[in-house]
Each structure stands twice: as structure tokens, then as C-alpha cells.
Amino acid sequence: MRHPFIEDQWKQLCDRVNQSAEHLAGDQDDVASAWAQQVDQFAQQDPPGSYPDLLRRVAQAADLVSTWRDDQTLVAGTQESATDRPATSDPVESEDWVTEAGMESFPASDPPSWTSAAV
């Protein structure tokens, strides 16, 4: 079953990843070319079939863009370039981030008020 919302969000995510690559690469043609290949590889995946799958892809996209951003801040020659690393993300690790964020935000609201009066 196709989910129009999920498909629309997937297309928007792929567009955002592409825009991020272009923005971060700036006028560095060699970097832009390498990142464009990674964007193509990311966008050519089968579209997610469910909302949890979409969220995993969002985590992968964030990981990929974060790698590019970190690559821009590296001092030349100190570490391996992000364009030399694979563009994959471990979905299990991404789920751990989601679980950890959920645990840290508990309780999400104020506790119920306490009163000594009986109802």
C-alpha cells in the first residue's frame, strides 16, 4: 500500500539532502561532485514503506549531512575525508538515539498537582 504522506516526505527529504550538499560544498567542485554521488546513492533507495522506516531514513540523512559538515571543519590531512567514507548509517544506532532522547524527555509534561484534600 502506498502512503502519499510518506512518499511526499521522502521526496522532500531527498531534496533537503541535495540542498545541504550544495550549500556545504560551496564552490569546491571536487567535493560537490563526490557529495552529489552520495546524494544520488541515498535518493535511489527504495522509498520507505512505513513511518518508522521514514524516520530511520531521516536519521541516515542527518548522519550523512553531519559527516559533510564535520568534513568541512577538519584540518587538511589530519583525518580521512568524509568523501572517502561509506555513506551508510547503522539503523540500530539511530534507533538508540531515538530511544535515548525519549528516555531523557520523560516525563514530557508537568506531574499532576498534589493536594491533601479528598475528592
Contacts of range 36-44, beta carbons closer than 8 Å, 24 or more positions apart: 38/64, 38/83, 38/87, 39/14, 41/87, 42/14, 42/17, 42/87, 43/14, 43/17, 43/18
Mean pLDDT of 88-100: 61
The pLDDT mean for the chain works out to: 78
With pLDDT > 70 as the criterion, what percentage of the chain qualifies? Answer: 66
* pLDDT (0 to 100) of residue 89: 52
pLDDT in tens, 37-73: 999 999 999 999 999 999 999 999 999 999 988 887 7
Question: Residue for cell digits 546524494?
Answer: 39
pLDDT at 56: 93
**What predicted TM-score, i.e. pTM, was given to this entire model?**
0.60
The pLDDT of residue 82: 47
Band (pLDDT 50/70/90 cuts) for residue 113 is: low
